[in-house]
Amino acid sequence: MKTSLQPRPAWVSHFTSRFPQWRSMAQMEDLPEFRSYLEREFPEGASEWSDGLSRRRFLGLMGASLALAGFCSCSRQPIEKLAPYVRQPPELIPGEPLWFASAHLLSGVARGILVESHEGRPTKVEGNPDHPGSLGGTDAMMQASILQLYDPDRSQTPLKRGIPSTWNALLTELLRPAARWGATKGAGLRFVSGRTTSPTLLDQMNQVIARYPDARWTIHEPAVNSSALRVVCNVERADVILAIDADFLGSSPAQLAYARQFARRRKPGDTMNRLYVAESAPSLTGAAADHRFVLGPDDLFRLPERIEHVLSGASDESMSWLGALARDLGNHSGRSLVLAGEFLPAAVHEAVYALNTRLGNIGSTVQYLPGLPEPAKALPFSDLVAEMQNGKVEALLILGTNPVYTSPADIDFAKALSRVPFTLHHGLYVDETATHCSWHLPETDTLESWSDAAAFDGALCLLQPLIEPLYDGISPHELLAALLGQPAAKSYDIVRGYWLQRIGGADFGETWHRALSDGVVAGQTLRPSPAVATSTPRTPPEPLSGEGLHLLIRPDPHVYDGRFANNAWLQELPKPLTKITWENAAHMAPSTASRINLKHGDVVELDFFGRKITAPLWVLPGMAEDSVLIHLGYGRTSAGKVGDGVGFNAYALRTQEAPWGGSGLQVRATGARHVFSTTQEHSAMEYSHPVRFATLTEFKKRPEFVHAIEETPAYEESLYPPVVYNGYSWGMTIDLNTCIGCSACIIACQAENNIPVVGRDQVMRGREMHWIRVDRYFSGPAEAPQILHQPVPCMHCENAPCEVVCPVAATVHDSEGLNAMVYNRCIGTRYCSNNCPYKVRRFNFFHYSETKSPTLKMQRNPQVTVRTRGVIEKCTYCVQRISAARIKSEVASRAIRDGEVVPACAQACPAEAIRFGNLNDPVSVVRQFKKDPRNYSLLGELNTRPRTTYLARIFNHNTEIS
């Protein structure tokens, strides 16, 4: 009987299913009596316990259920709504990217962008040619903004004292006191935010203040000098420019426009402009100057006044450079331009204003505008902190700013924060401030939500989302709307509602659509602040002075005030003048360092009125004597996996009286040494001539001077017949006369070509992966050297040394002249890299491509292979863009037009220094540039015959200054 319960062989069950067997009639009829009998006799499972196999199975099941129980505790899977296109959007063709206009904000000021989107996934940012803040160019931060969107360290959910919560929970907690604020007129309610130019947001802010009249709004923008005069220049009109510590080509929201205008006047000839720069620390503008004067801060402050004296004949400086400079400015009245650096004291700004007035430049090359609007009844930051400390603040809402990290060292914001009962931080990251607040609310990235903003000149544009918020982000508009009693309002309705009210009109729908697709709202500019008296105008602080060196505190060229510290692209981007990555340094002139017995790489203690930090010393030629330059934005403790613990925190030396430094700095060696992670160890050109330059006079005398330096072998000197290109023949020129060395091309290339980040240790080993690098050389005396930049992508040599030595033909020449790299074929001998005289080939020493983070995967350009460990990679001239243009042209049965293929580097370049095109096309722009007498090949004497060539740099020297 027992046997019948045991598993039967397959043939038995097969047989029995066909010929049922029974033991009794009862069984055959499956009567309940039989079943109960059977159950009594053989209780279910009873015999199975004795069976070894089943016990094992039981244990197996136990194990499986334990494992599954573990799975149950995993985080909630994201809800992914799958739906095919029932009706395909007419503009969307799978595989073809779409472009949407939006804007990138730098301290609130917009630079227009066009965002490339692949099936709803933004992958790349380009400049918007129609936007006055971009004109088609981008800077490194704009390019890197796409990585910020996908940053896995971004805040993902509201937090109440560090514990995940919800937006609704926050709303209930926020709206309960809000009812009371109505009664108390919002006394004790305080807001602090970064600077904004969004008319919608400003309108909402003013509505909040109108609703709660005793509430106050504080603008805290650490890297902006709010006391500086707001100017808008027409650089293109200026024949002679004097920049006094003004880095107008390097770091300003107007940089892209100015760089393009400046570059348009750099064609060597009679129309070429002349740039004088006087500065204490080298900047990109200084590097681009025809004459760069290194002056200590005190001399800088007096410079406008001294020029004024020369112009008015009060002093005779006929012999000095100053006299020559003043005369040059005077001779170009109305066509000259004097710019004062943002971080100079207000007195200097006023003196420069007077100088521009005297020179008749106002209205011609420069316009002075009222400052950017602020919300009504703005409260200075220091007053806010005083109120917080006095317990007068009941609720503090911190919007998109990080004051715990960025407030001056003499303000303990974290401590003040602890005295406020209700604190809310609204931001992209759970940063230093968020960890000190009772509530944190994730903010949407600018690519995730609707907004609007103004360019540096006031022109307004709309920001449109490219993607649904990746996390539970709330836009600032929605947060303010909640305070205004509309917790369900969506950014789109808020922004559109504002504009409907502002422009209105029957054809609003059309205007709105146009504004969205163009990226600018035609004819609309920022309205100045309503004439509400702000608090008493504060006299801007004068620089501190004391015994010792002069300290200069500036925002970092890449991580800015620290807000981009968690952006690995920006961290790994070499600083334009030092080529340092992943850290900041204290910069000092070589002469000063040797005078106080310090060496490059010494770790020094900086003591500024009793506040001390330790920093590694970088000896930088071209620094003013007795000055030390440090950058903000490093030493963060709660930035994320990338930005934590990188560099030193310069805010620790920053005080309210001296936000940009002053004199009185003591520097002491600590005895420790530091090794920098830099991408360029050597700054002299030595016996090589990579960057060729001449003065305008020399150039006019000898236009072919570039070829006199080295002899380039004739093409016929080869055993092989010349290769003929009948179709396209691609080539590139890089104009060193307009290149400002801003490094936007590097990040643009990184974003376009899925180039991995390698980290500080690997950079120190010399393994950075950038396909294009910007070399920086110093030439001339160490006190005031000429700073030269040279972008170096792959040269796509016609006689490529790399191709000959590859044993597996993984790098080959294609029919259009490209030096192609076949990743799949590469076995990684690295012989090509050794044989490349330009050293532009990059090797995946480890598996550098980040493949674990799902969000970072979304950033990838689907047109470009992600490389694996052990293969070489390098610049391809953006071959994917050439292919896309070819497909388009072949569909239309025509040739690729000039300008249709723009590599990422050329597209990003704000100065239009990089030109690319078909050399076989007689009218192509690149061909015209190749005909320029300044055109030369880098290391042409090796007979590599590069397709990328350079146009020599020409200095428009004032002949009166030797």
Partner 1 sequence: MSAGAPIQHYERADDQISSIVLERPFEWRWLVGFATAFTFLMLLNVSIGWLFLRGVGIWGVNVPVAWGFAIVNFVWWIGIGHAGTFISAILLLLHQQWRNSINRFSEAMTLFAVACAGMFPLLHLGRPQVFYWLLPYPDTMGLWPQWRSPLVWDVFAVSTYLTVSLIFWYVGLIPDLATLRDRAKRLWIRRAYGLLALGWRNSVKHWSRYEMAYVLLAGLATPLVLSVHSVVSFDFAVGIVPGWHSTIFPPYFVAGAIFSGFAMVLSLIIPLRRFYHLENLITSMHLENCAKVMLVSGLLVTFGYASEFFTTWYSDDPYETGGLLNRMFGLYGPIWWLMMACNVGVPQLLWSARIRGSAMALFIVSLLINLGMWTERFVIIIGSLHRDFLPSAWGIYVPTFWDWSTLLGSIGLFLTLLFVFVRILPMISIAEVRREKEAAG
Interface residues toward partner 1, by CB under 8 A: 680-688, 690, 762, 765-767, 773, 775-777, 790, 792, 801, 804-809, 825-831, 833-835, 837-839, 841-847, 869-872, 938-939, 942
Least spacing, CB of residue 791 vs partner 1, in Å: 11
Which tokens is 100 given?
Answer: 């949407």
Q: Tell me the CA distances in angstroms from 916 to 256, 913, 928, 933, 952, one per residue in order.
A: 20, 10, 11, 18, 17
Q: What is the DSSP string of 921-959?
A: STT-HHHHHHHSTTEE-TTGGG----SEEEE-EEE---T
* Residue 367 CA, distance from chain mean position: 28
**In the complex, minimum distance from the CB of residue 283 to partner 1, in angstroms, rounded to a whole number:** 20
Q: How far is the CB of 702 from partner 1 (least distance, A)?
A: 22
Q: How far is the CB of 685 from partner 1 (least distance, A)?
A: 6
Q: Virtual CA dihedral for 465, 470, 475, 481, nearest 10 degrees?
A: 110
Using CA atoms, how far residue 214 sits from 183, 186, 211, 476, 838, in Å, is: 11, 5, 9, 21, 64
What are the φ/ψ torsions at residue 164 (nearest 5 degrees)?
-55, 135
Burial zone of 694 (CB within 10 Å; 0-12 exposed, 13-18 middle, 19+ buried): buried
Q: How far is the CB of 809 from partner 1 (least distance, A)?
A: 4
Shortest Cβ 801–partner 1 spacing (Å): 5
Select 519 or 791, whichever has its Cβ closest to partner 1. Answer: 791
Query: By C-beta, is 440 or 776 nearer to partner 1?
Result: 776
Nearer to partner 1, 439 or 777 (CB): 777
Residue 8's identity, in one-letter code, is: R
Q: How far is the CB of 799 from partner 1 (least distance, A)?
A: 10
CA 425 to the chain's CA centroid = 23
Contacts of 125 (CB under 8 A, 6+ apart): 104, 113, 114, 115, 116, 138, 142, 143, 145, 146, 751
Concatenate the DSSP letters of all residues of 742-785 into one string: --HHHHHHHHHTTPPP--HHHHHTT----SSEEEEEEES-SSSP
Nearer to partner 1, 390 or 851 (CB): 851
Q: Are 427 and 395 in contact (CB under 8 A)?
A: no
Are 487 and 175 a contacting pair, CB within 8 Å? yes
Which residues touch 477 (CB under 8 Å, ≥6 apart)? Answer: 200, 201, 204, 449, 450, 451, 489, 491, 494, 495
> Where are the strands (E) in 400-448, listed by range?
422-427, 439-442
Smallest separation (angstroms) from partner 1 to the CB of 779: 12
Cβ-based burial of 507 (10 A; exposed 0-12, middle 13-18, buried ≥19):
exposed
Is there a contact between 956 and 274 (Cβ–Cβ < 8 Å)? Answer: yes
Cβ distance to partner 1 smaller for residue 723 or 809: 809
In the complex with partner 1, the residue whose CB is nearer, 499 or 843, is 843
CB of 642: closest distance to partner 1 in angstroms?
A: 20
- Residue 932 CB, nearest distance to partner 1 (Å)? 23
Can you tell me the distance from the alpha carbon of 96 to that of 123, in angstroms, rounded to the nearest whole number? 12
Shortest Å, Cβ 763 to partner 1: 10
**404 Cβ neighbours under 8 A, 6+ residues apart:** 413, 414, 417, 431, 432, 433, 435, 436
Shorter beta-carbon distance to partner 1: residue 560 or 693: 693
Cβ closer to partner 1: 91 or 686? 686
Q: Is 109 or 568 the residue whose CB approaches partner 1 more closely?
A: 568
Specify whether the CB–CB gap between 660 and 552 falls below 8 A: yes
Q: Closest separation between CB of residue 767 and partner 1, Å?
A: 5
The partner residues of 549 in beta bridges, in order of sequence, read 665
| Residue 612: strand, helix, or coil | strand
Residue 297 has φ and ψ, to the nearest 5°, of: -55, -40
- Rounded to the nearest angstrom, the gap between the alpha carbon of residue 460 and the centroid of all alpha carbons in its chain is 21
Provide the minimum distance between the beta carbon of 828 and partner 1 in the complex, in angstroms, as a whole number.
Answer: 2
Q: Which is nearer to partner 1, 548 or 828 (CB)?
A: 828
Q: Which is nearer to partner 1, 31 or 809 (CB)?
A: 809
Return the number of the residue (273 or 581) whose C-beta is nearest partner 1: 581
* In the complex, least distance from residue 634 CB atom to partner 1, rounded to whole angstroms: 25
Among residues 265 and 796, whose Cβ is nearest to partner 1? 796
- The residue among 471 and 845 lying less far from partner 1, judged by its C-beta, is 845
C-alpha closest to that of 249 among 259, 261, 262: 259
In angstroms, what is the minimal distance from the CB of 600 to partner 1?
Answer: 15
Measured from the CB of residue 602, what is the shortest distance to partner 1 in angstroms? 20
How far apart are the two ends of the chain, measured CA to CA in Å? 116
By C-beta, is 22 or 715 nearer to partner 1?
A: 715
Q: What is the CA radius of gyration of the chain?
A: 33
Nearer Cβ to partner 1, position 255 or 743? 743
List, in order, residues 6 or more apart from 922 with CB less than 8 Å away: none
- The residue among 946, 943, 942, 919 whose CA lies nearest residue 796 is 946
DSSP assigned state of 712 = P
**C-alpha span between 352 and 337 (Å, rounded):** 10
CB closer to partner 1 out of 425 and 770: 770
Give the nearest distance from C-beta 841 to partner 1 in angstroms.
7
> In 817-924, which residue ranges form alpha helices assigned H by DSSP?
831-835, 854-859, 879-891, 904-908
What ranges make up the beta strands (E) of 525-660? 549-554, 586-588, 602-608, 611-619, 627-631
